[in-house]
Chains A and B, each alone.
Chain A
Amino acid sequence: MSYNFAYLDEQTKRMLRRTILKAVAIPGYQVPFGAREMPMPHGWGTGGIQVTAAIIGADDTLKVIDQGADDTTNAVSIRQFFAKTAGVATTTRTEDASIIQTRHRIPEKKLHEGQILVYQVPIPEPLRWLEPRETETRKMHALSEYGAMHVRLYEDIATHGRIATAYDYPVQVNGRYIMRPSPIPKFDNPKMDMNPALQLFGAGREKRIYAVPPYTKVKSLDFDDYPFEVQTWEHSCALCGSEESFLDEIITSDQGDRMFVCSDSDYCQDRQTAGRREAAE
């Protein structure tokens, strides 16, 4: 069976591109779109896949990561999906990719102009925790009625003594719209600010696309007396020694032995290779 390039028909891709253009024109604003049925269920990145399918061309090189790793089932199957339906080159190296589709992490290596980062988003609406009505949240965004977002942070501090949100930490884009960055760790939030790459966000089940154009201000919400802080670890990566990357905690035995390892596998791999080369010299 042969597929149209990148699986979707041309009209659909056109519709998606129009949506993406609108999203780029209004940074952080959620644009509704007519999502298509994809050959995988919701919850498996259908939003991100549709965005990638709309923008990918024959000359592109695609990297797909899931929680920072290129080799999980999810990442592998998406990469193979595009390899089969678009015939594009794929890579695990961040600096070689023109399009990076990601679930729940931003790569450690700095991105450069011309790259596009496509995020998979489960729940796009930052106000949904407070307001179930779509009609009402749309109005709140339109009128910048964002008091409720700080109520959420206030509650965190009142309950935990600090802002406890560690993932999907809400941000304000270009001083205007408040956005959910998808369940990336708050550690990654600063990377979104003034990033040279284009950042696109696709939510398949909720049927929304939003965007952060290159070099756009992205500010994490906080209070003057409780400023935004990133996570830190006492450990460094057990494999490459990095003290600057986001570390996963891995339980290695039933006795509770654990080790801390970079979540970004490409980054860690490069550092290990460099380290071995240094040791050899």
Chain B
Amino acid sequence: MSEQPLLRVEQLSRYYGARPACVDVTFDLWPGEVMGVVGESGSGKTTLLNCLSARLKPDSGRVLYDTRHHGLTDIYGMSEAERRLLMRTDWGLVHQNPRDGLRLSVSAGANIGERLMAVGARHYGNIRQEAVSWLGRVEIDEERIDDQPRAFSGGMQQRLQIARNLVTKPRIVFMDEPTGGLDVSVQARLLDLLRELVSQLGLSVVVVTHDLAVVRLLAHRLMVMRQGRVVETGLTDQVLDDPQHPYTQLLVSSVLQA
């Protein structure tokens, strides 16, 4: 087991005016771990994700990332250049709406190849080959490599977004409701794919969702948020099978069984 967590979060807090959006969040994330964050609307889970993924500066607390060369570093203490480079290489960000995470007017192949070109890939043939390979891994027909994602279904767009993020072999991926808005059968396919990729690539993931089935399937660990606070945390199966906090018990008992 490695000595350093990949991500260390210390008393992260963020307010919107006087209203607490997320308060005092503390946890460590280790390589290969998937952390689920569940909560209903207004729980603060999306604010938390934005603070973790360097898109929203917290009001207090720290987010430390285990960089390749300098060890655990406060991401908000880095220069913007370093942070942006991190976001393009070591990190992935999967938006709920895939259109927010893709370049719609550019071909699928270029979408996947962009991150490679951004870090200096200069051989068209190799870039294209890599794109073909990734399309295969996310189960998109390679014939579609030159098509624009505008023409893809929601599920395909989401899978393309995932490929675009994973091509630079990030160590951690932040996901916001990755299956939101997709049909149930499409969701199942996407979750299956994510499970495989996470396992194959040894990814660490923070996945925010309101859907307990998603965390049951994907997450090793779980944090339950309510009104900005983490009310319960633990192994996913333990939190869902033996919930301690009243809110968690309510949440778990409210889920309809198919």
List residues of A whose CB falls within 8 A of some B CB.
130, 139, 142-143, 145-148, 150-151, 154-155, 157-159, 223-226
Contacts and interface: CB of A to CB of B under 8 A. Distances in A.
A151 B124 contact: no
A151 B103 CA distance: 11
Given A145-B84, A158-B107, 6 more contacts: A142-B81, A143-B80, A145-B118, A151-B103, A154-B117, A223-B124
Given A145-B84, A145-B118, A147-B115, A225 B123 contact: yes
Contacts of B146: 158-159
A150 B81 contact: no
Contacts of B119: 147
A155 B110 contact: yes
A158 B123 CA distance: 13
Contacts of B98: none
B213 interface: no
Interface string B115-129: 101110111110110
B84 A151 contact: no
A110 to B, nearest CB: 30
A136 to B, nearest CB: 11
Nearest to B127: A154
B124 A157 contact: yes
Chain B's interface: helix, strand, loop or mixed, by majority?
helix
Interface residues of B, number: 25
B211 to A, nearest CB: 33
A8 B18 CA distance: 54
A166 B95 CA distance: 37
B24 to A, nearest CB: 32
Nearest to B119: A147
B56 interface: no
B114 interface: yes
Given A130-B103, A159-B146, A150 B84 contact: no
A10 to B, nearest CB: 39
A158 B114 contact: no
B188 interface: no
Contact of B113 (A142, A154, A224): A154
A155 B106 contact: yes
Point out which of B81, B85, B124, B128 has the most chain A C-beta atoms below 10 A from its C-beta.
B124
B41 to A, nearest CB: 29
7 contacts: A130-B103, A143-B80, A147-B88, A154-B128, A158-B109, A158-B128, A225-B123
Interface string B184-221: 00000000000000000000000000000000000000
Nearest to A129: B105
A25 to B, nearest CB: 21
Contacts of B113: 151, 154
B84 A147 contact: no
B61 to A, nearest CB: 26
Given A143-B80, A155-B106, A158-B146, A148 B114 contact: yes
Given A158-B146, A223-B123, A147 B114 contact: yes
Point out which of A142, A147, A226 has the most chain B C-beta atoms below 10 A from its C-beta.
A147
Nearest to A149: B117
